[in-house]
Structures are given as structure tokens and as C-alpha cells.
Chain A
Amino acid sequence: MSTRAVPSPTTEVRATPPFATPAAIRRRGLTEPGAVRAALLAVAIGFLALFVAAPVATVFGQALSKGLGAYLAALRTPDALAAVRLTLLAAAIAVPLNTVFGLLAGWAIAKFRFRGRSALVTLIDLPLSVSPVIAGMVFVLLFGRSGAFGPWLTEHGVKIIFSTPGIVIATMFVTFPLVAREVIPVMQAGGTEEEEAARVLGAGGWNIFRRVTLPNIKWGVLYGAILCNARAMGEFGAVSVVSGHIRGKTNTLPLHTEILYNEYDFQSAFAVASLLVFLALVTLVARSAVEWRARRLAAEAEALVPREEAA
């Protein structure tokens, strides 16, 4: 029994049928001719190289174009450091709040059946189909000077738009569904039997969640939080609308990158951008790790159950 998680009909030779030798399979038209395979492979790799690998390489190429010293200097300017702080702050608030929401929503949606459940899921997904610029704009409509709460806010001297709270709220809006989207399927796949068994044995709600549900979903939650964090730190359009671009005060890392770029200071812009690329790479590695682990667990579980194969 192979330990590879994903069997492929073209390279996997299954144990039982004696006529399933590689040659026989090939003869029976289950694989493409070699030339076609090579062409498809070239197209796929070329597409990925052109559209994904090349831009990433460009960032580092441009960032280091004036040498390592200039690269580090660009990262140490007060504006850059302030941007880092603001980015981290926005993420530190948005990610935990949206994670808690994701868990709440997951519990309500995955463990119960009720009318309007799919409507609720659609509503939760709403921020994903809204343009980031529109997402920022709705908060200007709410909290801006001429907005719904504008007069009240000016009266009390509270600044939301063009200030940190606005950035945090806009970030929360755009990253709102990300944890829930990861958690809900995992919770649904887990079913309700384990939780019900715990209930029957007398556990209270919090205990059931903490000791039965949470261990089952922790990788989904972790991955959702990582995605949420990546989006929170990288959000550009929505934050651009609410921030006012005040250097050193209301600029996140992406906004700071834009300012440097618009001033034609390309090397610094790409240097700051490279920080965000590192973040993206960490996100990708984490995703691969979570997926690899999930596949390994699935393969192990499958290996435990004897396969009933028709002879």
C-alpha cells in the first residue's frame, strides 16, 4: 500500500489486477503522448514562472539593487518603523477578533441546522466580493466628517477616519470572513457525534468546545488565522481610503510602499515591499505545512482501515 497521499492513475500501480502494468495502461489511452505531456508541463511551468516567480524575484532584485547597506537603511527609517508598528497593531486587533468570530460562527453554523443557514454563510462571505476601495468607502460614509456619525464624532473629538481606529476597522472588515471560511468546513466535517457524546457524559458548553471541538479543528483555525493575518498586514485598497496617507502616523507597510514608489524611490519601496514578501512566504510555508499534515493524517487513517477491494 503506497504511503503517498494522492494516488494518480498514471503513475500508481495498484496491487491487484494483473493487467494493470504501466505498459498496459499506457496502451489503453490513459496517458497522454509524451510530447503532449512535455508541452503541458512547459506551459504550466512557464505560466507559473512568468506570473508568480518573476514578480517575487523582481522585488528582491530591485530591493537589493543598491546593495545590502541601502536595503537595511531603507528598513530603518522612522517612517518605515512607524508603518511596521501600525501594520502590526492592525493585525494584532483584527486577527484575534475575527478568529473568535470565526469560532462562534463555526459553532452556530456547523453544529446546528436552522433555516437561513446558507443565507448566513453567504452574508459572511460578503466582504470578499466587495472591492477594497468600496470597503474603505463605507466607513468614510459612516464615520467621515459628513458621514452618519460624523457630527457626533467631531463633537466628541473622536477621530476614526484618517486615524488609527479607522485603519483597524477597515482591516477587520476585509479580513472578516477568512477565519470563518476555514473553520466552518472543518467543523462540519467533524460532525456532531463527539460533541453530543461529551454532552451526554455531562460536559458543559465551554468544556465541550475546549476539549472536544478545539483539538479537532486546531489546524483549520491556525491556518485561517495565518491567512487572516496575511491579508490584514497586506491590505491596501481599503486602508488607503480611510488612512489619509499621513506619513509616520497613518501609514501601514503597503501604504508606505506606495508613497515611496510614487516618489520614484524604487529601491526603498521594494525594500519595504520585501518585508511583505517574507510575510507571504511564511504564509505559504505554513499553508503547505498544514496541508501536508492533514494529508498525512488522512493517509494514516486510511492505512488503518483495511481496504475492501473487489478481486
Chain B
Amino acid sequence: MKRGSPASGSAGRARPPRVPWRSSGNRVLPGFRLTLGLTILYLTLLVLLPLSMLALKSVTLGWDGFWSAVSAPRVMASYRLSFGAAFAGAALNGLFGTVVAWVLVRYRFPGRRVADALVDMPLALPTAVAGIALTALFSSNGWIGRPLEAAGLRVAFTPLGVVVALTFIGLPFVVRTLQPVLESLDPEVEEAAASLGAGRWQIFRRVLLPALVPAWLTGFALALARALGEYGSVVFISGNMPMKTEIAPFVIMSKLDQYDVAGATAIAVVLLVTSFALLAGINVLQAWTARRGLAG
């Protein structure tokens, strides 16, 4: 039997030995090369290779073609709508999702289990079904649309409808990232603050909220990421009017329908790169707040 590095299960008394790239980090268990190799193969074939086609295709466009495809007014309007509505939806989820997570973790009420299960519905429900259901609900003669329109607020076929759909789609993310953190909060810290005379709002603002910020940012980022690329739940309620209620993925789709594959690629690349940059930024912010939270 091979003698290898100390079992990784040993508690962190000794620092684990530095692992050179070539050798596996654990020589006791078999199958490292095989599983890693297969994993990388599958990943490359199914994900990396197809995605690299995006880069390849957009290079063939040339800088001028790329820029003209991307800076067309219709495309810019769709970017504005996609990013704006995604932010709005993620913000709404950030606010209401926090309330929902708080209520689900801290309160006991009949139907709590059902409510908890319902939170995952936007993840489990196919996007097309969500799309037509939300449209039917918020359209002029829908259950919610009719009273809203009587009050002068039109939802379906407006940017507001897009925000509604994106709020639906991002609902689970904030709630589900906050719930474990809320559950694992040490009640003793709250009790200590209370025994030192802090009121409830003070405790919430200065003890609980800072502990929640990193997780909240993660949830917000996840909701935002999902909302940016969302297609199925939005295209029905948005009405897809160029310059007004077209989201970026829809513009990509219509370019493909017209066989303008190069244009579609350019728009897609910009959307992807911007989303990645946004998420990377939020990750950095989240790591920073987590560090500050631990130090402070």
C-alpha cells in the first residue's frame, strides 16, 4: 500500500503538506486520476467547448461589426431593460426575501411548512409555465391585473411586468441563502445585547444585520444573475415591443430567427461578460464584508 500524506481527516493540528500540482492531495483513496480526468473531459465537451464558440464567432465579426451589432438603439434599450429590471427585481427580493426568511425562521404559525416549501416553487416551476401564469394573473382581466388597472397601474406588457416576472424568478435565492444563517445565529449574542439594555430595533440593526450582510449579498447576486439571463418567464408578460419591453435574451432570439447568428453572438457576449463582471464584483464585495464582519 502506498504511504502517502497524512489522512486529511486528522484535525487541523498540523498544517496539511503543500501539494504539488502533479500529485493528488490524497494518495490513500483511489480513483483520483480517473474521476478528475472524466470530470474534466465531460466538462470540456459539454460546457467549455460550446462556450468557446461564442468567443470564436465574435472574433470573426471584427471589431466594427461587433460594435455596430451591439450599439444599435434597439439592443441598447434591451440591455437597459434587462439590467434595470433585474436590479429592481433583485432589490425587491432582497427586501421582501429578508422578511420572508425572518418570518419563516423566527416565527411559528399554521402553514409555516407549506410556506417554506412554496418558496422553492419558482425554482421547480418551468419558466414557460411561470410566464403564462404571471401574464394571465396580471393582464387586464386577470385576478390581480384588473384591480390594479382600475387603480391606474398597468403591469402586463410594460417594464413593470418584467420586474414582476424577475421578482418571481429570484424569490428563492435571498430567502434560501438567509435561512441557514438566521438559523445558526447564536441566540446568546442577542441575549447579551438585550441584557446590556439594547432595544429590539437596536439589536436588529447592530447585531443581526451585520451578520446577515454577506449572505444577503450572495442571495442578491444569485437573484440578479438568474434575472439577467431569464427568458421564459419574461417573454410572455413583457409583450416584446422593441425599444420598450424587449429583454436582451429576446433580442438574441429574434436575431437568431433572422439568421443573424453573428449579431446574436455579439449581443450574447456582451451580456455574458457584463454579468460575469457584475457577479465577480459582488463576490469581492461579499468577501470584503465577510472579512469585516469577522474582524469587527
Say yes or no: B253 contacts A141, CB within 8 Å.
no
A59 B107 Cβ-Cβ under 8 A: no
- With A41-B103, A114-B25, A146-B261 already in contact, the answer to whether A29 and B199 are too (CB < 8 A) is yes
In the complex the two chains form, is B249's CB within 8 Å of A257's CB? no
- For residue B279, which residue of chain A has the nearest CB? A129
CA–CA, A101 and B46, complex, Å? 11
Residue A192 is within 8 A (CB to CB) of chain B in the complex: yes
Q: Which of A85-143 contact B (CB under 8 A)?
A: 101, 104-105, 107-109, 111-116, 120, 123-124, 126-134, 137-142
Task: Select the residue from B132, B198, B231, B249 with max chain A CB neighbours within 10 A.
Answer: B132
Binds A, one of B50-58, B68-76, B287-295: B50-58
Given contacts A113-B19, A133-B249, contact A47 B99 (CB under 8 A): yes
Known contacts A55-B133, A107-B31, A131-B229, A138 near B54 by CB under 8 Å: yes
Give chain A residues whose Cβ lies under 8 Å from the Cβ of B156: none
Q: Tell me whether A113 and B276 are in contact in the complex, defined as CB-CB below 8 angstroms, given that A139-B50, A148-B53, A173-B46 are known contacts.
A: no
Residue of B nearest to A54 (CB): B137
Name the CB-closest residue of B to A4. Answer: B108
Point out the residue from A29, A54, A240 that lies within 8 Å of B144, measured CB to CB. Answer: A54
Task: Please indicate which of the listed interface residues A47, A51, A139, A234 has the most CB atoms of chain B within 10 Å of its own CB.
Answer: A51
Where chain B touches its partner, the secondary structure class is: helix
> Is A130 within 8 A of B229, CB to CB?
yes
Q: By the criterion CB–CB under 8 Å, are A44 and B28 in contact?
A: no
Partner of A193, one of B7, B236, B276: B7
Other-chain contact of A129, B117, B132, B190, B276 (Cβ < 8 Å): B276
Judging by beta carbons under 8 Å apart, are B99 and A44 in contact?
yes
Residues in B whose Cβ lies below 8 Å from that of A51: 122, 164, 167-168, 171
For residue B243, CB closer than 8 A to chain A, the reply is no
- Assess the B16–A58 pair: CB atoms within 8 A: no
Q: Which residues of B contact A70 (CB under 8 A)?
A: none
CB-based contact A141/B265 at 8 Å: yes
Bound-state CA distance A172–B45 (Å) is 11
Known: A11-B108, A113-B8. Is A43-B99 also a contact (CB below 8 A)?
Answer: yes
- Roughly how many angstroms separate A278 CA and B200 CA in the complex, as a whole number? 43
**In the complex, what residue of chain B is closest to A44 when comparing beta carbons?**
B103
Q: Is B39 an interface residue (CB 8 A)?
A: yes
Q: What is the bound-complex CA distance between A9 and B184, given in angstroms?
A: 11
Binary contact track B94-125/A, C-beta < 8 Å → 1, others 0: 00100110111111110001011111111111
- Residue-wise, chain A 1-37 has the 8 Å CB interface mask toward B (1 for contact) of 0000010111100000000000001001111110001
Q: Which of A71-79, A214-222, A283-291 participates in binding chain B?
A: A283-291
Chain A residues with a Cβ under 8 A of chain B: 6, 8-11, 25, 28-33, 37, 40-41, 43-45, 47-48, 50-56, 58-59, 62, 101, 104-105, 107-109, 111-116, 120, 123-124, 126-134, 137-142, 144, 146-148, 169, 172-173, 176, 191-193, 195-196, 199-200, 204-205, 208-209, 227, 230, 233-237, 240-241, 253-255, 257-258, 261, 266, 269-270, 273, 276-277, 279-281, 283-285, 287-288
Instruction: Name 26 interchain pairs, CB-CB below 8 A, sorted by A.
Output: A40-B107, A44-B99, A50-B144, A55-B137, A59-B133, A101-B39, A104-B39, A105-B43, A108-B35, A114-B24, A116-B21, A134-B54, A138-B54, A141-B261, A200-B1, A227-B124, A234-B125, A234-B126, A234-B128, A254-B127, A255-B128, A276-B125, A283-B120, A284-B120, A287-B120, A287-B124
Query: Closest 6 CB pairs between A and B?
Result: A234-B126, A131-B229, A113-B25, A9-B187, A236-B232, A237-B231
A-binding residues in B (CB < 8 A): 1, 7-9, 16, 19, 21, 24-26, 28-32, 34-36, 38-40, 42-43, 46-51, 53-54, 56-57, 96, 99-100, 102-109, 113, 115-130, 132-134, 136-137, 142-144, 164, 167-168, 171, 183, 187, 190-191, 194-195, 198-200, 202-203, 225, 228-232, 236, 248-250, 252-253, 256, 261, 264-265, 268, 271-272, 275-276, 279
